[in-house]
Amino acid sequence: MTIKEIEKILPHRFPFLLIDRVEEIVPKASIRAYKNITIGEHIFQGHFPGHPIYPGVMIIEGMAQAGGVLAFKSMEAVSHEDIKNKVVYFMSIDKAKFRTPVTPGDKLEYHISVIKNRGKVWVLDGKAIVNEKLVAEAELTAMIVDK
């Protein structure tokens, strides 16, 4: 999926749209997406000047956005209009771990898989990877609701 296709699903926009592309999606199972981290990210003006580190909370949010795309693309017979009237709310973030700093120049890959899905509620396993190395992970619970 290109950025334009992602924008049809997620309400987020620059500077808070944290997925550049979806490389692979298996509805109801998994998604693989990425964000290219550049020195031009607004967040680096304050985190940290002279020592830019991409914040862990932004990594988690990127996982959440990828999970949102997966949840919407897993809904059966959903139209673009249906998507426009719904939003994904995250209910919990559990087991979050940050292993290695992410810095400008990194390609931050999000590997999200479904642990379970019951109706509108999704439990997802999120992994963030740079150069085939795990940099962060978390278990996310979300619900699709009407706006």
Which of these is catalytic: 12, 47, 80, 111? 47
What does the DSSP assignment read for 93-133? EEEEEE-S---TT-EEEEEEEEEEEETTEEEEEEEEEETTE
Contacts of residue 125, defined as CB under 8 A and 6 or more positions apart, other chains included, come to 112, 113, 114, 115, 137, 139
Active site residue 47: yes
| Enzyme catalytic residues | 47
